[in-house]
Structure 1
Amino acid sequence: MNKLKLNKLQKLPVKQILTFVLLFANFICWSQEEDRQRRLEEQKARLQEEIRQKELQLGMQRKKEKDVSKIVANQKEKIGLQLKLIRTTEKQKKVLGNSMYINQVKVNQLKNDLQILKEDYAEMIEKSYKSRSEQSRAMFILSADNFLQAYKRAQYMKQYSTFRKMQGEEIKDKTSQLETYGAKLGVQKKEKEKLIAESEKEKQDLEKERQEQERLLNSIKKDKKKIIAEIRKKQKESRAIEKQIERLIREAIAAANKKSGNASNTTTFVLTPEAKEMANDFRSNRGRLPWPVEKGALTKRFGRQPHPLEPSIMIESSGVEISSERGAQARAVFNGEVSDVQMAPNGTATVVIRHGDYLTTYSNLSNVSVGKGQKVSTKQAIGSIHYNSFTGKAVLKFLIYQNTNKLNPQSWIKNM
């Protein structure tokens, strides 16, 4: 018996260290799960706001009922947002499920530890009760064969008393932990039930929207020729604006290089040390640049893609289009200098901002609040985005270039 109890006492510090390590590891896992849940909540809130804006736009369009094809295009954007919302909710359920599993494992572990501790503690109390008299304790010490053995027995009695007290404290601590994790699991179960209900509603809303879209698509099949003609007209206008931007960029390169004594180079910027530093800063922020609008939804991707209304027609997008609400402001995505401000044939303006040998362009502005040569800072408003009262949208056309090379904004803007 003595050897067994002494062994327990000798191993106690190791147990405490292991317990601390396990608790710390659980805390790290829990913190990571909490962080993921927070990010998903932010993403979900943004998607819900975008869907709300899209519903307002659809409501305005349905009242006018002038161009069904535009309603369908807007509806397709809303369906895309709803799909993203469903995927976000599913991710939330998965993250919550993982967190619940970790907490359940901890609860099971605590229950097991608590049972062992209580059994061990009960055994110690029983043995202590049997030898509770001061006389029996004194006899245990005095019956030693020699002084050294008597000293060791006295030390053992002291350590045994301390250990029993520590066991009692550990039982209290683990009982408290068990109550905490149990309460946490209760909250998480309610949260999961809420997410399941939300997910089901989101899926039902999506199905209704798809049925409505199918009805509208069937109604516009008769006007296919008219729709194709309208698409081609819009493509022509878009190409004209892009050609104007490319001309502005070439002119900006030529002017900058002429100023630095390199007039022969018209395709790449010859960078000063300051401009080189700006370019390096811009490049190092790839994937982390802010959106060029405070609130908005991506409605046209970069590159070659089928038209959303007529898949047989392929369209080429040199940048991206972002739909926002009435009164939305375009804003600079990085520090730089306004290289040019130009008016398009349709009466809207384009602003070009230079960041070393990188350029960002902002088109479809109804008015501009910056001028050529002006220094701008990240997120600074540069002009109002033109609002189309019929579509109920303010659409910003946003492009990124390095010299004359078009870049995909989706790989530069955060979470685009």
Structure 2
Amino acid sequence: MKLKAHIAYTFIFLFVGFSAFTQTRKELEKKRKELKTEITKVNKLLFETKKKKSNALDDLNDLNKKISVREQFIKTINLETNALQKEINTNKKQLDLLQKQLTKLKADYADMIFKSYKSKSQQSKTMFLLSSSNFYQAYKRLQYMNQYTAFRKKQGEEIGEKTKKIQHLNDSLFLKKQAKDTLILIEKEQKEKIEADQKKQKNLVSSIKKKEQKYKQELQKKQHQEKIITAKIDKIIRDAIASSNKNRKKGVKESSGFILSPEAKLLATKFESNKGKLPWPVKKGLITRKFGIQKHPTIRGITINSTGLHIATEKGSNAQSIFNGKVLGVQLLSEGKKSVLVQHGSYVSAYNNLEKIYVKKGDKISTGQDLGQIFTDKVTGKTTLIFALYKNTKKLNPSDWILKQ
């Protein structure tokens, strides 16, 4: 009895361990698939659109992005391979345990059948019953015979179940070994691609260092242009807040933020409740620059202050509103580019670097509505939306608000 209990507990322990590994591997498998999709996006949105004449600094940034995603991909494959190996080891332990149990069951069953054949023929069963000293003893002997028959049947069924489990584990081991071998091949292929990209990376870094001053000036010029655009957007928001304060009802104190109607307050509450679940401002996109202050990845001494997300997308793509609202303003920026601001109660989403505009100030907007076509650079061939988010005048990190991809 103790032996049976020990075997049962061991089996439960192994099964629980196996479940834990499976859960972890499923998460890793999901992440690997997401990273594979991101690699496809990087190639499509950053490399397929490249023109012959391009900027070495931009090329290096794109290459760094591709290498970074591939490195994450390889790391995830390694973790998934390790998780698979743990599952394989656990399966082997289960298999050994089940095979030992099966061997013992078969031996016990064979012994029981042999003894039954030797001493319990149909005649001996009848004589066993007839030789009872009274009816009660005959009844007890009949019960014992029925229990013995049932036990034999149960042991036979148990042998069948154990055999099926062993077959299932054998199949599972085979599939897991195949999956592991496939992952190892994928990892090898990705490492070769990274090595090729790293050679290009080294050449680009060398090229940039020779003209570092030129690239610094270009970056500073771009930063200056972005500051001007941000200042214009900030002014639109401040003017709108001042206008809402000017039109406030009697008895309502002046505020540093928007004075909202009950309807606008409800809209702001709904917007807040969707934090982390809001749709992307483009159908297909890849973040090429994050929000906030960050050191330039290549040029020393240059700090980037990104007021929004830079999202690469396909040529001809439209910017889409992330939530219901109304157009707060349409801004003409440098080089004929445009910007649309959509108000969602006390929140404002800004869609910069547009080529065409489909809406005008005061228009009511619904979630997912096209606002304008995103500008495509004729030199680099890239299509990039600059997406910013505000609560009143405070700049927010859009990555915290839109769906994770």
Regarding TM over 0.5, the answer is yes
Structure 2 partner of 1:385: 374
Return the match for 2:36 from 42, 45, 56. 45
In 2, distance between residues paired with 1:26 and 1:168?
Answer: 29
Structure 1 partner of 2:197: 209
CA contact (8 A) 1:370 1:383 kept: yes
In 2, distance between residues paired with 1:274 and 1:117?
Answer: 74
Change over 3 Å in CA distance of 1:235–1:283 after alignment to 2: same
What do you get for the CA RMSD once the two structures are aligned?
3.2
Q: Does 1:88 align with 2:79?
A: no
Shift of 1:294: 2.3
In 1, distance between residues paired with 2:100 and 2:197?
Answer: 51
Shift of 1:208: 1.8
Return the match for 1:338 from 320, 323, 327. 327
Segment drifting more, 29-38 vs 277-286 = 29-38
In 2, distance between residues paired with 1:271 and 1:99?
Answer: 57
Structure 2 partner of 1:248: 236
In 2, distance between residues paired with 1:241 and 1:181?
Answer: 63
- State the SS of the aligned residue for 1:387: coil
Shift of 1:22: 8.2
Structure 1 unaligned runs (5+)?
Answer: none
Shift of 1:241: 1.1
In 1, distance between residues paired with 2:358 and 2:97?
Answer: 63
Q: Does 1:196 align with 2:184?
A: yes
Q: C-alpha deviations, 1:208-231, integer Å up to 9, x for none?
A: 212211112212222121111101
In 1, distance between residues paired with 2:379 and 2:80?
Answer: 37
CA contact (8 A) 1:79 1:206 kept: yes
- State the SS of the aligned residue for 2:379: coil
In 1, distance between residues paired with 2:86 and 2:371?
Answer: 45
Change over 3 Å in CA distance of 1:391–1:78 after alignment to 2: farther
Change over 3 Å in CA distance of 1:278–1:93 after alignment to 2: farther
Q: Which amino acid in 2 is paired with 1:377?
A: S
Structure 2 partner of 1:366: 355
CA contact (8 A) 2:32 2:73 kept: no
Shift of 1:244: 1.4
Structure 1 partner of 2:101: 113
Change over 3 Å in CA distance of 1:156–1:390 after alignment to 2: farther
Q: C-alpha deviations, 1:33-57, integer Å up to 9, x for none?
A: 5742552253033222123225634
Shift of 1:102: 4.6
Q: C-alpha deviations, 1:186-214, integer Å up to 9, x for none?
A: 12211111111111221221122122111
- State the SS of the aligned residue for 2:281: coil
In 2, distance between residues paired with 1:264 and 1:78?
Answer: 52
Q: Does 1:70 align with 2:58?
A: yes
Return the match for 1:36 from 14, 24, 27. 27
Shift of 1:289: 2.6
Number of aligned residue pairs: 403
Shift of 1:238: 0.7
CA contact (8 A) 1:282 1:355 kept: yes
Structure 2 unaligned runs (5+)?
Answer: none
In 2, distance between residues paired with 1:285 and 1:103?
Answer: 43
Q: C-alpha deviations, 1:152-180, integer Å up to 9, x for none?
A: 22112112212222222222222223222
Return the match for 2:227 from 221, 239, 260. 239
Return the match for 2:394 from 405, 408, 415. 405
In 1, distance between residues paired with 2:80 and 2:391?
Answer: 38
Q: Which amino acid in 1 is paired with 2:186?
A: E
CA contact (8 A) 2:98 2:162 kept: yes
In 2, distance between residues paired with 1:272 and 1:112?
Answer: 75
Q: Which amino acid in 2 is paired with 1:90?
A: N
Change over 3 Å in CA distance of 1:144–1:34 after alignment to 2: farther
In 1, distance between residues paired with 2:69 and 2:150?
Answer: 63
Q: C-alpha deviations, 1:85-141, integer Å up to 9, x for none?
A: 223333433443444445444434433332333233223222222233112223333
Shift of 1:321: 1.0
TM-score by length of 2: 0.87
In 2, distance between residues paired with 1:322 and 1:268?
Answer: 28
Q: C-alpha deviations, 1:289-331, integer Å up to 9, x for none?
A: 3322222222111111111331321111122211122122222
TM-score by length of 1: 0.85
Return the match for 1:170 from 145, 151, 158. 158
Identity %: 38
Change over 3 Å in CA distance of 1:45–1:216 after alignment to 2: closer
